[in-house]
Amino acid sequence: MSLWRSPRLLCKRGQVTERPDDPTTIDHGTLDPVELPSAPAAARRYLDLLKGCLTRELFIDEEVREVVWWPANVGLGEPKAVWDILESRGWLLVRPTTAPGERTEGRDYPPRAETMVGRSRLDNVEELIQHVLADDIPGDLVETGIWRGGTVIFMRAVLEAYGDSERTVWACDSFEGLPVPDEERYPVDAALRIEGNESMAPGQQFLMRELLAVPAEKVRANLARYGYDDDRVRLVEGWFSDTLPTAPIEEIALLRLDGDLYESTIDALVHLEPKVSPGGFVVIDDYNSIEACEAAVTDYRADNGIVDPIHEIDWTGVWWRKRAR
């Protein structure tokens, strides 16, 4: 999930200091050409349609957005109270949805879609899995921070389309939204504190508090909707600091992080990145849009001597390929 971009900061273990732009850390390179695995035309068409369904990009002209917050001067009363009344009656207050381009680029909060990452980042998932299969990189696929489960569904679908019957997709999430920032250990996460954060607009606070907490039961229902509620998708439920140190994940071919906070990002990297096989991939969804996330990645790479080139996917996501070390 990607929220905003603040002035660039360097946050050594969560401590905030100004730093200049460093254009040498990012490039726009592509993967080395290899003979990629082929899929039947019908399977490729299926994946393309699935991207449009999971993002609701195909139905953007029919979609409406729930109105969940409004300024006090509108005169409708306190948003949460009104929302609770409407919800108790099974009603929704709606308006026309976002512009198509915002959905394609993954820049909005979709009211019904299973993913908010946009088409470019789904394309990236498919491309990296193709290379995992072509190069026979050992390991499973992992996402930390899955929201409604759309990217996990797509990972599982790509394996199906390309005939992989062995790998597991691990879906790690608290299913309670973002953790309360530990500002003493990670001051940079203070910007993502919801309650009492005067620098965050009330509407943004409401969206983060109410829409990011997706129960595991809802994710399982979404998996079932697309036919992937099987034993090859494993949910890891709980805060990353509690679950990831002992998660039964042995080898990873593709690790995708979408945790927003410094704490969530560093926990995932510390406990899972060492399990990424040489030649495997690490994807960071929020690197170019949430400073706390970028800071955690910068610190982890520096502490572990990682110099693998970072490649941009779109306006927020990046990836790198792990070299043997």
Min mean pLDDT across 10-14, 55-59, 69-73, 96-100 is at: 10-14
Across residues 284-312, what is the average pLDDT? 97
CATH top-level class of 41-59+109-321: alpha beta
- DSSP SS3 for 67: coil
> Which strands, in side-by-side order, build the sheet including 169-173?
26-27, 310-312, 318-321, 276-284, 252-257, 140-144, 169-173, 233-237
Residue 324 confidence (pLDDT) above 70: yes
* Residues 141-169 pLDDT 10s: 999 999 999 999 999 999 999 999 999 99
Give the pLDDT of residue 1: 56
Confidence of residue 17 (pLDDT cuts 50, 70, 90): very low
Confidence of residue 40 (pLDDT cuts 50, 70, 90): confident
Min mean pLDDT across 25-29, 57-61, 239-243 is at: 25-29
Give the pLDDT of residue 52: 97
Is residue 148 within 8 A of residue 114, CB to CB? The reply is: yes
Min mean pLDDT across 10-24, 26-40, 47-61, 194-208 is at: 10-24
Is residue 138 within 8 A of residue 277, CB to CB? The reply is: yes
Across residues 248-255, what is the average pLDDT? 98
- Give bridge partners of residue 318 from the DSSP assignment: 284, 312
Give the pLDDT of residue 46: 97
CA 81, 82, 87, 93 torsion-angle sign: negative
Give the pLDDT of residue 12: 41
* Cβ neighbour number for residue 206 with a 10 Å cutoff: 18
Is residue 182 within 8 A of residue 240, CB to CB? The reply is: no
Phi then psi for residue 58, to 5 deg, are -70, -25
| Percentage of the chain modeled with pLDDT above 70 | 83
Residue 126 confidence (pLDDT) above 60: yes
Give the pLDDT of residue 111: 83
Structural domain boundaries in the chain: 41-59+109-321
State the average pLDDT for the chain.
Answer: 86
Residue 123 confidence (pLDDT) above 60: yes
Sorted by sequence, the CB contacts under 8 Å of residue 83 that are 6+ apart come out as 68, 93
DSSP string, 10-47: EEETTEEEE----GGGEE---PPP--PPP--HHHHHHH
Task: Compute the distance between CA of residue 86 and CA of residue 200 in angstroms, rounded to an integer.
Answer: 26
* Residues 194-239 pLDDT 10s: 666 666 666 566 666 667 899 999 999 999 999 999 999 999 999 9
Of 145, 148, 164, nearest to 53 by C-alpha is 148
Indicate the Cα dihedral angle 303, 305, 309, 310, nearest 10°. Answer: -10
- DSSP SS3 for 246: helix
Of 105, 38, 57, 111, nearest to 288 by C-alpha is 105
- Tell the residue number behind the tokens 């915002």, with chain if given: 102
Across residues 8-20, what is the average pLDDT? 42
Across residues 127-132, what is the average pLDDT? 97
* Residues 270-288 pLDDT 10s: 999 999 999 999 999 999 9
Task: Compute the distance between CA of residue 314 and CA of residue 319 in angstroms, rounded to an integer.
Answer: 10
- Tell the residue number behind the tokens 């606070």, with chain if given: 205
Task: Compute the distance between CA of residue 260 and CA of residue 228 in angstroms, rounded to an integer.
Answer: 26
SS3 track for 189-230? HHHHCCCCCCCCCHHHHHHHHHHCCCCHHHHHHHHHHCCCCC
